[in-house]
Amino acid sequence: MTIEWRYTTREDLGVLSLAGYLGAEAVDRFTGAIGWALARGTGPVILDLTGLMGWSAGGQIAVAQAARHLAENGRRLELAAIPADGSLVPDATCPPVAVHCDLSAALAAHGAQDAVKQWRTDDWPDPNHPAAPA
């Protein structure tokens, strides 16, 4: 199982939403999504984990690495809606990572405006555009 992602830019921040399971087989896709966010936005990246079914230890390490990579490029990572099956335990080399109870709280903390632009993987679960019946 892998992840699907959606990246939405807002004024002075980006929201990277994940769906699926962030395990070893999804780390490369997640790392690519972080690169996408870094190249296409400014300000902090809020990692919205609302649609994440869970994450492995390797997935948590990938999140900590993403926080370091973003910090090296002058941006920070914040988390929204950590899965119930674990919490991020960064090591001493990880920059501080703000944790919000959900995406609404994260956006409110920044006074975020409406979305400006959005990108997503082909299979992103979109309730406004259900899959066509077979």
pLDDT band at 89 (very low <50, low <70, confident <90, very high): low
Residue 20 is assigned to a structural domain of this protein:
yes
pLDDT tens profile 60-82: 999 999 999 999 999 999 999 98
Quote the domain boundaries for residue 110: 3-120
Bridge-based pairing state of the strands 3-10 and 117-120: antiparallel
CATH number of the domain to which 20 belongs: 3.30.750.24
Number of domains in the chain: 1
pLDDT for res 86: 57
CB burial string 54-68: b at 16+ within 10 A, e below:
ebbeebbbbbbbbbe
Residue 130 is assigned to a structural domain of this protein:
no
User: Which residues are CB-contacts of 107 (< 8 A; sequence separation ≥ 6)?
Assistant: 10, 15, 46
